Structure 1
Amino acid sequence: MSTTAHRPLLGCIADDFTGATDLANMLVRGGMRTVQSIGIPSAEMAAGLDADAIVIALKSRTTPVAEAVEESLAALAWLKDRGCEQVFFKYCSTFDSTAAGNIGQVSEALLEKLGSDFTLACPAFPENGRTIFRGHLFVQDQLLSESGMQHHPLTPMTDANLVRVLQSQTQLKVGLLRYDSIAKGVEAVRGRIAQLRAEGVGMAVADALSDADLYTLGAACADLPLLTGGSGLALGLPENFRRAGKLRDSDAAKLPTINGGEVVLAGSASVATNGQVATWLEAARPALRIDPLALAAGKPVVEQALAFARDAGQTVLIYATSSPDEVKAVQRELGVERAGALVEQALGEIAKGLLAAGVRRFVVAGGETSGAVVQALGVQLLQIGAQIDPGVPATVSNSAQPLALALKSGNFGGPDFFAKALKQLAGGAQ
């Protein structure tokens, strides 16, 4: 990365690691040179940052509300100190955090600290099948609450009515920016926002059925100090800065080639990741499953996994991915938090052991798993490269020994994602 500092234009706060990467991917696609920080960067790291956008990845999606608010406000203060002109709070395209409501309460706190009275909430990501119609969130052609995603083991989401969900999480009045206003264009959206503000609305859920809607929303909200949503809402933001003459022309997605061994680590229990593991197994590629009950019993699971990877003679998949029923059975025996923590810690230790053995390219599936792995690897900053699949870019760390990583949200990526990601991290696709 360059050692010449450049004042960033857009400052972003993401509530988990892969969500941050997803957002950074979207900004790079729009031509913004983007750096992702794992937590709030130190003063030493900040001194050499050269980027149009900075994305700070927190782990606030599932933490207690007070902690999530405190961390988010600290990230905001850091971004404002760096001169960021607009702030984006990124959360999952399924709008899930905790029952207590991290999304609403964090958004409210950020809005207050920025001295603003209005923001949008729009988790839509049409490219991955997430759309919003009359305030209801759809996954493909099904309401979120009927899509199969409502049973997330950590953050279940059983109500597709986002206005109702958000209103339960904030003291601000929540309104709806409907599709018919958005269809009329940028000026119509600005007019409707003015009406909502006059009605005392502090947050408005925005419908979005297509990328065109997201571009319209982005252009209409260029002057809002704060925007909140999924990565899709960021589609139109780079062009706002380009129109204002503030965005430099550059090859935003260019990354150096990283040589060394490679591995796939999967901890997510999502439908998409289950399919990706199945595709790997069907191709008869070497894989080892991590058993949380064996971890709880104190068996040498990490050592066995490292030996398996060493002896395989080719790229391996090490995974804890299992069906929802299997996950529930383990959670009943170990408890939800302990079951998740055991798997994350083990995969982090495996990653650290593989790094010592010469592995330099890591494909990681699952938000919590990605957080554990980057922490174990000592990664603090990531330069964001070209997209592998929607929502998932290639990245390179700024470590003394640079690493290539693909950090995937559990529900993202096609069935062949692992093979595609390995190829791109090796420099086979740009």
Structure 2
Amino acid sequence: MEHNRHHEHGQDGSCGSQEMNSGSRADGLLLAYYGDDFTGSTDVMEALTWNGVRTVLFLEPPTEELLASRFAGIQALGIAGISRSLPPDEMERELVPVFAALARFNSKIVHYKVCSTFDSSPTIGSIGRAMEIGAAAFDDQSVVPLLVGAPSLQRYTVFGQHFAAVGGMAYRLDRHPTMSSHPMTPMDEADLLRHLARQTNRSSALLNILDLEGDSKRLRERLQLRLAEQPGVLLFDVLDQPRLQAAGQLIWELAEQGNRFVVGSSGIEYALAAHWQQQGIVKHGKQPQRQASGGGRASAMLAVSGSCSPVTEAQIRYALDHGFTGIQANVPRLLHPDTAAAERGALLARAESVAAEGGIPLVYTALGSADEQIGLARQQLEQAGLSASDTGRLIGQQLGRLAREFAERHSLPRLLVAGGDTSGYVMRELGIYALEALQPLAPGGPLCVCYAESPQFDGLQLVLKGGQVGQEDFFLRVLQGQ
């Protein structure tokens, strides 16, 4: 099923990508990026913002008029996307116009942002296919730099093998307790270039952790040795901050030579920011210009979750033990067109009842990957001729409508949305067209402030949480604004 990306906004200065000025320049941008899922898109905004680069995340490429009127002086912009959940043909329909729009911005670097656990397969969220589309959009590109590790997120690439930590222990991706059994893109290969080779025929090379030691002269010499192999992709190992900064230096120098299209996690931004600060290009410690009222503990909050990750399961259980009231959806009823409205209405009534008593409603679809609701939902989708990749869209739309209806009836200062695929559809239902990071809560899950068509949602505080983001008490941290 093709996703309709082009959402029409109102007349308050927001925009859709069809309105993009073909001559758009947006002078002064250090970086423009596209995130392959919504929660991952906030990772990049967070990495840049806390390192002194004012960044705004949009749902569609903004017009020059919008940038000039509401976002003058920003140094980076992002486009929140959904390509991680799409098959290759739908990825092409999604990415070709977005890359064309990003190419027209006069940014130093254009980044296709992927998850730091490299979630992808030849049939869903193919990073290799995204590279091919990006290379075509930037046809003067000789090599595509690839960096996935991010020490601040406990993600490491060592001699091309990728590791992710959970519970204080780092696992190779193919042995990771969550990623090795991911319901959509299970990882059975920790060698990133071998995994990528299943998705593209582009040749590859590796700058390993030993190559990334030494002074700038030695770094450049090793880079030239790898480039002499004429690879289509160049992967950078990342183990620690010094190597991260070394990678940032080389990626920046490659961009200055014309290779401005890069692929990777938010480790790209951490690497670049480290180099930019060392060079005095940016200063650490800048804060967002827009301030939202009601910092600290929220006077009221709604939480909705479409995530089935074990991390989110533990967070929901912790929240229910610490003052939140759980409301589990009947997912088959929520997905079926004949019963969706009634199920949503029942969930809304229960959430309103909780809020009326001073409680914090938490509406969720599943408690972990073993929840029986997941199997029932898959059966229903199969009977309807739909695929598992449609789950995020259908659940996201219904949870988004629930959040909108709740917010329209109540003063809602803060909203938490858990689930990478869910988040984008919730934002669209609320008419939100841009976000700016406001306060750190946990790596990958900042408190954000919204720009929206409706005054009711303009200024709403919002947290978008991916499945692997946050400690056990994350929901409570969102409520308390800590």
TM-score norm. by structure 2 comes to 0.81
Corresponding residue of 1:58 = 81
Alpha-carbon separation, structure 1, partners of 2:395 and 2:154:
29
Matched-pair contact (CA < 8 Å) for 2:277–2:284: no
From 412, 431, 434, give the equivalent of 1:381. Answer: 434
The answer to whether the aligner puts 1:325 opposite 2:370 as a matched pair is yes
Matches within 5 A, 1:160-199: 160-199=190-229
Matched-pair contact (CA < 8 Å) for 1:262–1:315: yes
Alpha-carbon separation, structure 2, partners of 1:189 and 1:338:
45
The answer to whether the aligner puts 1:410 opposite 2:467 as a matched pair is yes
Matched-pair contact (CA < 8 Å) for 1:62–1:98: no
C-alpha displacement of 1:246: 5.1
Moved more, 298-307 or 380-389: 298-307
Distance 1:163 1:387, change over 3 A: same
Alpha-carbon separation, structure 2, partners of 1:328 and 1:373:
20
C-alpha displacement of 1:415: 0.6
Matches within 5 A, 1:297-312: 298=339, 300-312=342-354
Matched-pair contact (CA < 8 Å) for 2:50–2:284: no
Corresponding residue of 1:393 = 446
The answer to whether the aligner puts 1:288 opposite 2:327 as a matched pair is yes
Corresponding residue of 2:272 = 237
Alpha-carbon separation, structure 1, partners of 2:344 and 2:231:
52
Alpha-carbon separation, structure 2, partners of 1:190 and 1:422:
47
Distance 1:388 1:199, change over 3 A: same
Distance 1:422 1:186, change over 3 A: farther
Q: After superposition, what is the alpha-carbon deviation per residue over 1:302-351, rounded to whole angstroms, capped at 9, x for unaligned?
A: 11221122211222211113222226522442232454444222211111
Distance 1:418 1:255, change over 3 A: farther
Alpha-carbon separation, structure 1, partners of 2:353 and 2:220:
61
Matches within 5 A, 1:29-428: 29-42=50-63, 44-48=65-69, 49-50=71-72, 51-100=74-123, 102-114=126-138, 115-140=140-165, 141-148=170-177, 149-223=179-253, 224=255, 225-241=260-276, 247=282, 251-253=286-288, 255-259=290-294, 261-296=300-335, 298=339, 300-312=342-354, 313-326=358-371, 328-335=374-381, 336-357=388-409, 358-399=411-452, 400=455, 401-424=458-481
For structure 1, list consecutive stretches of 5 or more residues without a partner in the other structure.
none
Matched-pair contact (CA < 8 Å) for 1:254–1:385: no
Distance 1:185 1:172, change over 3 A: farther
Alpha-carbon separation, structure 2, partners of 1:206 and 1:67:
29
Please state whether the residue corresponding to 2:405 is helix, strand or coil.
Answer: helix
One-letter amino acid of the structure 2 residue matched with residue 321 of structure 1: A
Distance 1:289 1:393, change over 3 A: same
C-alpha displacement of 1:151: 1.9
Matched-pair contact (CA < 8 Å) for 1:6–1:52: no
Q: After superposition, what is the alpha-carbon deviation per residue over 1:143-169, rounded to whole angstroms, capped at 9, x for unaligned?
A: 111112222222222211111111222
Please state whether the residue corresponding to 1:324 is helix, strand or coil.
Answer: coil
C-alpha displacement of 1:263: 1.0
One-letter amino acid of the structure 1 residue matched with residue 100 of structure 2: A
Matched-pair contact (CA < 8 Å) for 1:292–1:342: no
C-alpha displacement of 1:249: 7.8
Distance 1:261 1:285, change over 3 A: closer
CA RMSD of aligned residues (A): 2.5
One-letter amino acid of the structure 2 residue matched with residue 151 of structure 1: S
Matched-pair contact (CA < 8 Å) for 1:291–1:320: yes
Matched-pair contact (CA < 8 Å) for 1:395–1:404: yes
Counting aligned pairs with the same residue, the percent is 28
C-alpha displacement of 1:244: 6.1
Distance 1:188 1:76, change over 3 A: farther
Alpha-carbon separation, structure 1, partners of 2:332 and 2:100:
42
Alpha-carbon separation, structure 1, partners of 2:261 and 2:389:
32
Alpha-carbon separation, structure 2, partners of 1:187 and 1:71:
40
C-alpha displacement of 1:24: 0.7
C-alpha displacement of 1:185: 4.9
For structure 2, list consecutive stretches of 5 or more residues without a partner in the other structure.
1-12, 15-25, 382-387
Alpha-carbon separation, structure 2, partners of 1:216 and 1:385:
29
Matched residue count: 424
Please state whether the residue corresponding to 1:274 is helix, strand or coil.
Answer: helix
Alpha-carbon separation, structure 2, partners of 1:278 and 1:132:
32
C-alpha displacement of 1:372: 1.4
C-alpha displacement of 1:241: 4.4
Matched-pair contact (CA < 8 Å) for 1:62–1:155: no
